[in-house]
Amino acid sequence: MARKAFPQVDLVIPSGQTDSNEVDIDQFGVARGFAIQAPANLSGTCSVECSLDGGTTFGQLQSGAVDITAPQGKVTVIDFMAWDKLKIKSDAGGGEGGTRTFKFRAVREY
């Protein structure tokens, strides 16, 4: 089976903030899964949050009852998407100590 990566999208947590911008999963059509590469310089633990109602309410993404995070300097791969929007949330008190950019890429199989 062949794979094709969609163009990379940046999820950015501005300096002093805790939430990144949101990614609308619908823009990727028939994406099979995605990867998030976290920067190496995070102030806090960053969780992956998703919304099932178009972005009104976000909750911690889990798989097998385990919270999904984006550890600093690592790539997190999620194999299945069943939500509308996704964002990154830092638990750093007072927000991140600088602008943090996470690389997000969706992949489809055909």
3-5 and 62-63 as β-strands: parallel, antiparallel, unpaired?
unpaired
- CATH of residue 95's domain is 2.60.120
**How far is residue 33's CA from residue 29's CA, in Å, rounded to a whole number?**
11
Q: Are 91 and 45 in contact (CB under 8 A)?
A: yes
Residue 1: the pLDDT is: 62
Instruction: Fill in the amino acid letter for 91.
Output: D
Which three-class secondary structure state does DSSP give residue 44? coil
Q: How many CB atoms lie within 10 A of CB 95?
A: 17
Residue 46: the pLDDT is: 96
Q: Are 19 and 105 in contact (CB under 8 A)?
A: no
How many structural domains compose the chain? 1
Which three-class secondary structure state does DSSP give residue 15? coil
The pTM assigned to this predicted structure is: 0.89
Residue 110: the pLDDT is: 67
Host domain of residue 80: 3-109
- Across the 110 residues of the chain, what is the mean pLDDT of every consecutive 10-residue run? 80 97 85 90 94 93 92 90 89 94 86
Which three-class secondary structure state does DSSP give residue 37? strand
